[in-house]
Amino acid sequence: MHGQKRIMVTGGTGFLGSFLCERLLREGNDVLAVDNYYTGSRDNVLHLLDDPRFEILRHDITFPLYVEVDEIYNLACPASPVHYQIDPVQTVKTNVHGAINMLGLAKRTKAKIFQASTSEVYGDPVVHPQPEEYRGSVNPIGPRACYDEGKRCAETLFFDYHRQYGVEIRVARIFNTYGPRMQTNDGRVVSNFIVQALRNEPITIFGNGTQTRSFCYVDDLIEGFIRLMAAPAGVTGPINLGNPGEFQVRELAEMVIEMTGSKSSIVYKPLPIDDPTQRKPDISRAKQDLGWQPTVNLREGLDKTIAYFEWKLSGRARSVSGVRSPETAYTPQPAPAVGLPVQQAVSIGP
């Protein structure tokens, strides 16, 4: 197929990675999903396995990987505090060693490489909404620093490889994203609230509920990924990708209770250390450089996400447009496999 590429997605069996693999396959590319399954799940991509253009490799990117690719999307890293704080040293390694290894691969193969950075590089911001020029307010020694500072260091590495070696890079700063295939126990606010509401359990709000978040539906985010990767070489980023609609956490809880018909009450617990009190992206640069902005409103996205969790928890999902079980969400494209040769990885030690 004209324009077919060999594309590697690290974190390819995770929440975002699985949707990205699906989109790339639909566009006729060969896709290699690389994942160590720390937070990813093979279940997220089972429906892709019959596609001859799709491969999975179990691998930890803190060790080198030798494949031949045209593009790399580096999504590998646990994104929820529940997961990245379990082993903070490994989180830093995934961000830093992982970036070095993937950038080294991009340098060798002359591949274009995308870094999934995060709004957490802004910390608990004193500028609102957050533009890309804002340098952030991050506690470098707090319990969230393994992720926040790990991602900041990864951005540094990407731009240094770009300046020093001419590696073609794209850096996206991702704001809160939600949708089907989120884990039931990942501790993120949308999935937490939905699961608790469906189980009629008390909905847990940390803090007084007035802290704000902006919620981007997964389909909108993946569209932003594709547009950024396809942008001209001068558009390196960083570029904010998120939904600028801003909601108090308490508003979200009340909306979920109403939409699920839940009997859940709301309980309040102390706010975790360094948890940001406000979060809202300035997406002016994404609009200008990518022609991108979200199209799915929160209620519409929640309806699809709730339907997914109903299916996940009970196996009896409601019929909602665009929501199907992972096994029926994708139809393989008939095409010969080209394949991505994989060599044995060599350990660089801890």
What amino acid positions are annotated as catalytic residues?
A: 147
Phi, psi of 131 (to 5 degrees): -90, 165
Residue 297: which of 242, 213, 179, 216 has the closest Cα?
Answer: 216
Number of H helices, E strands in the chain: 9, 13
Give a three-class secondary structure readout of 34-79: EECCCCCCHHHHHHHCCCCCEEEEECCCCCCCCECCCEEEECCCCC
Q: Say if residue 129 is preceded by a cis peptide, omega within 30 of 0.
A: yes
Contact 63, 344 (CB under 8 A): no
Contact 212, 128 (CB under 8 A): no
Residue 240 CA: distances (Å) to CA of 96, 159, 314, 328: 21, 16, 36, 32
Phi, psi of 117 (to 5 degrees): -90, -160
Residue 16 CA: distances (Å) to CA of 121, 253, 286: 19, 23, 19
- 132/240 Cα distance (integer angstroms): 7
At 144 the three-state DSSP class reads coil
- 318/86 Cα distance (integer angstroms): 35
Residue 326 amino acid letter: P
Residue 207 burial (CB < 10 Å; 0-12/13-18/19+)?
A: middle
Residue 45: which of 314, 114, 53, 54 has the closest Cα?
Answer: 54
Residue 221: which of 69, 85, 23, 36 has the closest Cα?
Answer: 23
